[in-house]
């Protein structure tokens, strides 16, 4: 019984040590807000891509069209980050 009591005490001490602690004085950084221009550009690119895909191109060309607009979208994202 004495061994069980010692084991129980050790487990309680161990569980107290393992509790997570929050770092004090560190503020969480919020992500930058999306600019209205960026959202409008994304919507415009999406519309243009949908229109281009309806033109009746082969599936191979459709993949190129998607890739093209994806690249344009990424360039817009990185341009927005640099501003």
Instruction: Summarize pLDDT for 7-27 with one digit per residue, the tens.
Output: 777 777 665 555 566 667 777
Flag whether 71 is in a domain.
Answer: yes
Within-domain flag for 45? yes
Residue 58 lies in a domain: yes
- Residue 19 maps to a domain: no
Q: What is the Cα 63 distance to its own chain's centre?
A: 25
Any domain includes 25? no
C-alpha–C-alpha distance, residues 23 and 79, integer Å = 34
The predicted model gives 22-40 an average pLDDT of 73
Q: Looking at the domain assignment, is residue 10 inside a domain?
A: no
Q: What φ, ψ does residue 33 adopt, rounded to 5°?
A: -75, 145
Domain ranges, residue 69: 34-83
When comparing pLDDT for 35 and 66, which is higher?
66
Considering the domain boundaries, does residue 59 fall inside one?
yes
Q: How many domains does the chain have?
A: 1
pTM value is 0.50
């Amino acid at each position: 019984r004495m061994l069980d009591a010692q084991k129980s005490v050790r487990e309680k001490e161990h569980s107290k040590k393992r509790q997570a602690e929050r770092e004090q004085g560190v503020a969480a950084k919020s992500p930058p807000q999306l600019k209205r221009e960026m959202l409008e550009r994304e919507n415009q690119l999406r519309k243009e891509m949908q229109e281009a895909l309806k033109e009746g191109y082969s599936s191979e060309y459709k993949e190129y069209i998607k890739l093209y607009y994806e690249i344009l979208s990424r360039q817009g994202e990185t341009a927005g980050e640099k501003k």
